[in-house]
Amino acid sequence: MSLALLLALALNAQAADETSLWSRHAVGVGLYPSGAIVDSRIQVRTPMHRSESILFRDTYAGIGLRGAASPAFVDIGPRISLAPIDILDVDIQGSWHGYYGGPFGLLPYEEPGSKLSVVRDTRADEIVAASAFTLSVAPTLKLKVGPIVAFDSWMVEAWSIQRPHDRTSEGERGGEIAEDYVYEPYRDLVIGWRDVVVEHQAAVAYVLLPGEDGAKLWIGPTFRDRWATGSGDRSTALGAMVIWRPGTATAVPTVVVQVLPYLRDADRVGRAPCIQAQVSWTLDDPVRR
Can you give the residue range of the structural domain that contains 191?
Answer: 4-286
Q: How confident is the model at residue 219 (pLDDT cuts 50, 70, 90)?
A: very high
Question: In the prediction, which pLDDT does 168 show?
Answer: 46
Residue-wise DSSP of the chain: --THHHHHHGGG----SS-EEEEEEEEEEEETTTEEEEEEEEEEEEE-S--SSTTSSS-EEEEEEEEEE-SSEEEEEEEEEEEEETTEEEEEEEEEEEE--TTSSBEEESSS---SHHHHGGGGGG-B-EEEEEEEEEEEEEEEETTEEEEEEEEEEEEEEPPPEEE-TTS-EEEE---SEEEETTTTEEEESEEEEEEEEEEEEEEEEE-SSS-EEEEEEEEEEEEETTT--EEEEEEEEEEEES--STTPPEEEEEEE-EEEETTTTTSPPEEEEEEEEEEEEEPP-
Question: In the prediction, which pLDDT does 110 show?
Answer: 92
Q: How confident is the model at residue 169 (pLDDT cuts 50, 70, 90)?
A: very low
Question: In the prediction, which pLDDT does 166 show?
Answer: 66
Average pLDDT, the chain: 89
Q: What is the pLDDT of residues 15-29, one digit of tens each?
A: 677 899 999 999 999
Q: How confident is the model at residue 288 (pLDDT cuts 50, 70, 90)?
A: low
> Looking at the predicted structure, is the pLDDT value of residue 171 above 60?
no
Domains in the chain, number = 1
Q: What is the pLDDT of residues 93-106, one digit of tens each?
A: 999 999 998 777 89
> Looking at the predicted structure, is the pLDDT value of residue 9 above 80?
no
> Looking at the predicted structure, is the pLDDT value of residue 241 above 80?
yes
Q: What is the pLDDT of residues 56-72, one digit of tens each?
A: 888 999 999 999 999 99
Question: In the prediction, which pLDDT does 104 show?
Answer: 79
Q: How confident is the model at residue 55 (pLDDT cuts 50, 70, 90)?
A: confident
Q: Read off the CATH number of the domain in which 121 is found.
A: 2.40.128
Q: How confident is the model at residue 50 (pLDDT cuts 50, 70, 90)?
A: confident
Question: In the prediction, which pLDDT does 172 show?
Answer: 46
Q: How confident is the model at residue 10 (pLDDT cuts 50, 70, 90)?
A: low
Question: In the prediction, which pLDDT does 173 show?
Answer: 54
Question: In the prediction, which pLDDT does 135 show?
Answer: 98
